[in-house]
């Protein structure tokens, strides 16, 4: 028996917003793999829950008319990894969420919770940073869109207001077309582990596949919130993919843009070493995938149903 | 305040008045006496409380019974054949001596049933990843993998 005062089952996003507005002590629950674990530990005990678990419209992945990919926040990690649109256009995001916990947790836990919890260690966070994902929030005053790069305000804190519900994540075509990527997680075990460090590197090469046109570098646990390394991204632009010095460049340059801490999981020094090493490896793999012609074109509306 | 939940458990239609604060593991054990579902860590790390919900393996310690409304639940008790026969996975666990204390066994068997249900065959490496949500403190996993491999493994 969980220590909660009231439980409300919302049938729609609008109803969830209304319930949250009416009950200041209420928290949103979706997959439950974080909220219920915290409740077990006494955090948030005695409060109320507004469940959005049974709202089917919050699940799945769709293509919008302008080729934007729309990810439903209540999509569980397993469904995301296996979704044909994710496998075709954002395979590195599917790989990233396939490293969360274990299979049963991935069958329940959702990408919406992973982002809205505000955890820097969330396995989807580094990749979502590099995708410039837009968080669509619905509140009593209507809809607002917040870039995920401006979403976090501190450890476990985001700009989402208490009575706002995440309705979708939007990934625009300019943020995925032509890009390959790679997410690397370091944990002491291969499963059931929270990331000691997570790094996502994505590249877009020129038509001849000889030079880097654009790089995106995202980290989890390299700072109090998930971050991007924009100076390093800029420094890599125009570099030849055959130039071996790019790996030294990325491994050194990112160190000026991160601020990891020491925790019981790992020391700051070890995290700095991981930050440098994982970036090199992820860049190498992302380039290999581009050279292997794995970069996708633009998605077509309705294609998931064909 | 109690709420009515309507679900199918091991093929039987069940209607129950449940407290919305209940987890599914509590309902299955305490109201329906399905004690194959074990209460382990309570935080989704050990997998002892795994059942299939609409064919998908879920940790029932992190699943509110309210969410089970309208869904199909399968526990180890529901694997028995019409004449009491064991499921091929259960038989493989016996044949490969994949059981010691037995606490993790029902959960692992349910995950194995999910794996077999996909109709695919898996390598040992894939199977290791697929059972990563279960902790066994006795056997060291080798016999468990041997048993699952016997039913869902790629023929070598």
- pLDDT score for A42: 94
Domain shared by A60 and A170, yes or no: yes
Separation CA B137–CA A146 (nearest Å): 46
Report chain A (306 residues): mean pLDDT per 10 consecutive residues: 96 98 97 96 94 97 97 98 98 98 98 98 98 98 98 97 98 98 95 95 97 98 98 98 98 98 96 98 98 96 77
Residues of chain B with pLDDT under 50: none
Same domain, A81 and A110: yes
Helix axes B142-152, B88-95, angle to 10 degrees: 140
One domain, residues A169 and A65 = yes
d(CA A154, CA A175): 25
Q: Are A155 and A185 in the same domain?
A: no
Put simply, whether B38 touches A (Cβ < 8 Å) is no
What residues are paired with A122 via a beta bridge?
none
Q: Which domain holds residue A252?
A: 178-291
The closest alpha carbon to B107, from B58, B55, B142, belongs to B58
> Is A285 a domain residue?
yes
Å from A197 to nearest chain B CA? 20
B139 alpha carbon, distance to own chain's centre: 18
Q: Is residue A262 part of a domain?
A: yes
pLDDT tens sequence across B17-55: 999 999 999 999 999 999 999 999 999 999 999 999 999
pLDDT, residue A305, reads 67
With an 8 Å Cβ cutoff, are A36 and B134 in contact? no
Size of interface A-B (CB pairs under 8 A): 83
Q: Note whether A182 and A170 are same-domain residues.
A: no
Q: What is the pLDDT of residue A37?
A: 97
Say how far apart CA A28 and CA B104 lie, in whole Å.
31
**Contact with chain A for residue B41, Cβ under 8 A:** no
- Prediction pTM value: 0.97
Domain count, chain A: 3
If asked whether residues A139 and A248 sit together in one domain, one would say no
Q: Which two tokens stand for residue A17?
A: 């917003």
Q: For residue A30, what is the domain's CATH number?
A: 3.30.43
Beta-strand runs (E) in chain B:
3-9, 12-18, 50-53, 56-59, 72-74
Mutate to test the interface with B, among A29, A103, A187, A194 (most CBs of B within 10 A): A103
Q: Is A46 in the same domain as A62?
A: no
Same-domain check for residues A30 and A65: no
DSSP code for A148? G
Residues A170 and A182 in one domain: no
pLDDT, position B42: 96
Nearest one of A29, A38, A261, A279 to A155, comparing CA atoms: A261
Domain boundary among A110, A140, A174: A174
A170 and A72 in a single domain? The answer is yes
Among chain A residues, CA nearest to B1:
A6
What ipTM does the predicted assembly reach? 0.96
Residue-range domains of chain B with CATH: 3-79 (3.10.20.30), 88-152 (1.10.150.120)
């Amino acid at each position: 028996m969980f220590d909660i005062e009231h439980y409300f089952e919302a049938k729609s996003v609008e109803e969830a917003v209304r319930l949250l507005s009416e009950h200041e002590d209420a928290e949103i629950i979706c997959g439950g793999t974080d909220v219920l674990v915290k409740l077990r530990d006494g955090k948030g005990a005695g409060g109320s829950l507004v469940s959005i678990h049974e709202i089917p419209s919050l699940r799945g992945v769709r293509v919008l008319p302008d080729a934007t990919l729309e990810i439903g926040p209540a999509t569980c990690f397993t469904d995301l990894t296996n979704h044909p649109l994710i496998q075709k256009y954002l395979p590195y995001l599917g790989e990233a969420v396939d490293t969360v916990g274990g299979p049963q947790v991935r069958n329940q836990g959702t990408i919406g919770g992973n982002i809205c919890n505000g955890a820097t260690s969330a396995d989807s966070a580094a990749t979502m940073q590099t995708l410039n994902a837009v968080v669509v929030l619905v509140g009593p005053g209507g809809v607002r869109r917040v870039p995920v790069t401006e979403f976090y305000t501190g450890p476990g804190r985001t700009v989402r207001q208490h009575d706002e519900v995440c309705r979708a994540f939007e990934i625009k075509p300019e943020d995925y077309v032509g890009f390959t990527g790679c997410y690397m997680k370091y944990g002491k075990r291969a499963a059931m582990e929270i990331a000691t460090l997570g790094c996502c590197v994505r590249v877009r090469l020129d038509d001849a596949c000889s030079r880097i046109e654009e790089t995106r570098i995202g980290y989890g646990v390299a700072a109090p919130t998930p971050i991007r390394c924009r100076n390093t991204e800029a420094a890599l632009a125009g570099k030849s993919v055959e130039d071996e010095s790019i790996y030294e460049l990325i491994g050194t340059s990112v160190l000026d843009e991160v601020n990891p801490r020491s925790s019981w999981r790992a020391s700051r020094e070890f995290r700095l070493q991981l930050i440098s090493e994982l970036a090199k490896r992820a860049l190498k793999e992302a380039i290999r995938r581009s050279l292997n012609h794995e970069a996708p074109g633009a998605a077509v509306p309705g294609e998931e149903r064909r | 305040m109690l709420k009515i939940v309507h679900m199918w458990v091991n093929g039987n239609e069940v209607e129950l008045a449940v407290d919305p604060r209940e987890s599914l593991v509590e309902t299955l054990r305490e109201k329906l006496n399905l004690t194959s579902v074990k209460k382990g860590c309570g935080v989704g790390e050990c997998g002892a409380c795994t059942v299939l919900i609409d064919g998908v393996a879920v940790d029932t310690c992190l699943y509110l019974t309210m969410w089970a409304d309208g869904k199909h639940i399968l526990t180890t008790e529901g694997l028995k054949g019409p004449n009491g026969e064991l499921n091929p996975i259960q038989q493989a666990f016996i044949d490969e001596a994949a059981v010691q204390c037995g606490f993790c066994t029902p959960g692992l068997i349910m995950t194995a049933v999910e794996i077999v249900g996909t109709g695919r065959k898996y390598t040992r490496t894939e199977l290791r990843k697929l059972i990563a949500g279960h902790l066994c403190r006795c056997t060291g996993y080798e016999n468990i993998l041997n048993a699952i491999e016997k039913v869902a493994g790629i023929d070598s």
